[in-house]
Amino acid sequence: MSDSPDKVIILGGKGMLGTEVAAECKRRGMNFEVFDLPEFDITNTHQLLSVIHPAHTIVNCAAYTNVEKAETETELAFRVNAEAVGLLATSAKKSGAWVLHISTDFVFDGASGKPYAEKDIPHPINAYGRTKLAGERLLVENHCHNCIMRVEWTYGMKGDNFIKKILQKARTQKDMKVVDDQIGSPTATTEAAKAICDLIHKKPTGIYHFASQGYVSRFDVAQFIAEKLALDVRLTACKTSDFPSAAARPLNSKFDCSKIRPLLSGPIKPWQVPLEEFLKQL
């Protein structure tokens, strides 16, 4: 492996977000390398140390993201989302590397009536959120040169996400119920990847929130998709409580993104613009 100080190491680089980060790095002519399952396991101490030791810039997109299963696979989720991040931080401090760690809106309980700012106190309400918050804290407590970027409601070509689930259901169901009490910002991984590469260039420290511009309910997102694709479905609004699940969901996922805006190379797009582009690609 090259020990070039300009090389970017992308952990979880084959996942939904990591794939787009790698693609954006390539578009910008950046020197990068991708590591992910099955060849690379972030919970494998030897593999992690061998990968990050020569690196000066590390982007951690690796995560356990199955919110429902995290309630029963909490130990595994903690190993990936917290313990591995702590080890990453310890090693990065020794080598002097800068770490950009990706986190989530699920560190909040969603009880606030306002958009969440970075200074707001986290209070996760499910196992996934607790493990992600633990990872954030281990990163900070180890005092390595780090930056945390929280994202929300992400969707992309790879992996499962809300947008794809709506489209899959529309193929087999004419009547669909969608919750209208979860509010946030659908955020394309292509847009999040651009923000990540902007941060790589400036290497700030601290926590930053990133999401598409504007707030909308899950139901309204489904309506937008149905209208743009002329889907033959009847949508009915319902409440989160109508869908019993193992993991609680925050109702308010709105982000205040004013802190990150000055660090970005362009304006944050309204959520409708990247989503329409995504639907055209599908």
- 38 preceded by a cis bond (ω within 30 of 0): yes
Alpha-carbon Rg of the chain, whole angstroms? 19
How does 87-123 read in b/e, with b if 16+ C-beta sit within 10 Å?
bbbbbbeeeebbbbbbbbbbbbbbeeeebbebeeebe
Selecting among 128, 155, 208, 215, the annotated active-site residue is 128
For the chain, how far is it from start to end, CA to CA, in angstroms? 36
216-217 and 183-184 as β-strands: parallel, antiparallel, unpaired? antiparallel
Length of the chain: 282
- Six-digit token string for 120: 């707001």
Residues 6+ apart with CB under 8 A from 50: none
Please give the backbone phi and psi of residue 273, each rounded to the nearest 5 degrees, phi first. Answer: -70, -55
Is residue 128 part of the annotated active site? The answer reads: yes
3-state secondary structure at position 166: helix
Dump the DSSP string for 213-280: BS-EEHHHHHHHHHHHHT---EEEEE-GGGS--SS---SB--B--TTTGGGSSSPPPBTHHHHHHHHH
Helix H or strand E segment including 209? strand 206-209
How does 157-195 read in b/e, with b if 16+ C-beta sit within 10 Å?
bebebbbbebbebbeeeeebbbbbbbbbbbbbbbbbbbb
- Tell me which residues are annotated as active site: 128
